[in-house]
Structure 1
Amino acid sequence: MKKYFFFILFIGLSFSLVGKDSYFRGFYHGKNVFVRNPYLGQDSGFCIEEIYLNGDLVVENPKVSAYEIDMQNLEQESRVVIRIVHHDDCEPELTNPEVIRGDLKFSWLKVYVDENQIIWLTTKESKDGFYIVEKDTKDGWFPIDTVKTKGGIFINQHSLELDHVQGDNLYRVQYHDPEMEVKVSESFNFHSDKREITHAIDEEKWIIEFTEEVSYLLYDENSRIIKRGKDVSCNIQKLPRGKYMIKYDGKEIYFDKK
């Protein structure tokens, strides 16, 4: 009877020592993966027995609570299969599973405007893309400036200085990626209580003077931008005679230089 008892006990112990496999799949995007390795106690040690990356053994019995899988030898966007052999009574997990996620789709997180600038946060932007910041005018959406993307799958923050007009100012941002259609953010309105900026043209010195510093664009009669700046004045003395238009603070002023 004792022989049967020990035989059954041996079978039970052998079964409890059999490892279990867990698989994690995705794509390499330039970041290493960290694996949480639970400690099971003095008798059992740590949870993980072996870690494989794309079929190759990476480490055996790591005696650390968190292990970093070095994937820098992989090609960008290549497939990743992580196999972890571990004790049956525990579950290892990736602490940063987002770094190998396959659904890398661009998304807007937040767009907001303050007194001085527009700020937008995005995730999973292309390193080869760009943004266009636009303002709503009486003639439709007008591009203010472009901003280069930073790239990567994590959160990026961008900003651009703005010059508001008095009252409501409505802005939005376009995201351009060579591999996908244009994505447009929600519009954001900012109400400014700033004083109205005006100007005067000194026709003797041919200088346009503003009541305070402002960003401006100067156009010729063919609607081409010939000068831009941010100042309290715009010197047009060297320009030839002709018709011009200066745009600033939401205004379009036409004038003749004689």
Structure 2
Amino acid sequence: MIKLFIPGLMKLFRILLLTVFCFAPVFSFAGEIELQGTYRGDNLYVRNPYADSGVGFCVFEVMVNGMTTTDEINSSSFEIDLSVYQLPIGSPIHIVIKYKEDCEPVVLNPEVVAPKASFETIDIAVEGNYLKWKTTGEIGALPYVVEQYRWNKWIQVGEVMGKGVPGKHEYEFPVRLHSGENRFRVRQAGSDNKRKLSPEVVVNNDIPEVELVSQKVEKQLVFSRPTLYEIYDIYGQIVFKGYNDTVNVEGLEKGEYYLNYDNRMSYFLKK
């Protein structure tokens, strides 16, 4: 009985093994394209070449938020229909496109799931030492860059991450006022590098101007009170920036340097 059972078992094993090989995929897994972004109501389009093996097309699976799609992908181009998932506008979305070895598909319009600078400013104001703003119409989470106009240019003074979903939102960021007229705004930039700007807010500060104690220094710059500052060499390269009432410049080479502080543009001579 044992001798008859073992050969029969081996024959059954060979049949099962052959069946597995017959139905196994004939391609090797090569890689995947991964897109993470925001649903904005648009679908994705994919150019799908033939596999180099000559068997079928390149893409063999597409997943949206962890679920395998039912889109027809066995063609030279196909659409990933995102509307079937009934996602609210502004919802996070994660797409994975798996493809075979020795070929690679191309997503033709990846920008449709990228966050877009789309906010509208309801209100923006300086209250005390805070810039506060209210917005609506956000599509995708993008940082709000807080800018202040100083030294004949807009400079970035901070960032606040946007909520990225429809609705009204409120934000705030601490700011430092210099003497005289202060101008602030916020901006966003999407993946297409298109910027969206808030209106400017202007506030006057009647405190006295910051003074530089001496324009000839050996070890320290001394201001009459703490201030934002920037120091540039004669080639326009920034060497120091910060906020304080003193700056240690002992390590700088002798010579003339450009100095921005408070709302003023000046210079000093390193002795």
Q: What are the equivalent positions in structure 2 for 1:17-56 lying under 5 Å apart?
A: none
Amino acid at match of 1:213: P
> Is contact 2:145-2:160 (8 Å) kept?
no
Identity %: 21
* 1:80 Cα offset (Å): 5.7
Closer, same or farther: CA 255–224 of 1 in aligned 2, 3 Å: same
| Structure 1 unaligned spans of 5+ | 1-27, 30-71, 83-98
Residue 205 of structure 2 corresponds to residue 217 of structure 1: no
* 1:246 Cα offset (Å): 1.5
Match of 2:157 in 1: 145
> Is contact 1:80-1:100 (8 Å) kept?
no
Match of 1:60 in 2: none
Q: In structure 2, what is the Cα distance between the partners aligned to 1:177 and 1:150?
A: 12
CA deviation profile, 1:89-123 (whole Å, cap 9, x unmatched): xxxxxxxxxx8258x94322322113323222334
> Is contact 2:220-2:247 (8 Å) kept?
yes
Amino acid at match of 1:152: G
> Is contact 1:217-1:227 (8 Å) kept?
yes
Q: What are the equivalent positions in structure 2 for 1:46-195 lying under 5 Å apart?
A: 78-79=82-83, 100-101=88-89, 105-123=118-136, 124-127=138-141, 129-136=142-149, 139=152, 141-147=153-159, 149-153=161-165, 154-179=167-192, 181-195=194-208
Q: In structure 2, what is the Cα distance between the partners aligned to 1:228 and 1:159?
A: 24
> Is contact 1:112-1:119 (8 Å) kept?
yes
**SS in structure 2 opposite 1:199?**
coil
Q: In structure 2, what is the Cα distance between the partners aligned to 1:256 and 1:110?
A: 44
Deviates more, 1:110-119 or 1:237-246: 110-119
TM-score, scaled to structure 2: 0.52
More strand by share: 1
2:260 to 234, 247, 251: 247
Q: In structure 1, what is the Cα distance between the partners aligned to 2:215 and 2:233?
A: 18
TM-score, scaled to structure 1: 0.54
Q: In structure 1, what is the Cα distance between the partners aligned to 2:151 and 2:193?
A: 30
Q: How many equivalent pairs are there?
A: 172
CA deviation profile, 1:5-51 (whole Å, cap 9, x unmatched): xxxxxxxxxxxxxxxxxxxxxxx96xxxxxxxxxxxxxxxxxxxxxx
| Structure 2 unaligned spans of 5+ | 1-37, 40-64, 70-80, 91-115
CA deviation profile, 1:105-148 (whole Å, cap 9, x unmatched): 43223221133232223342533x33333334573x42233425
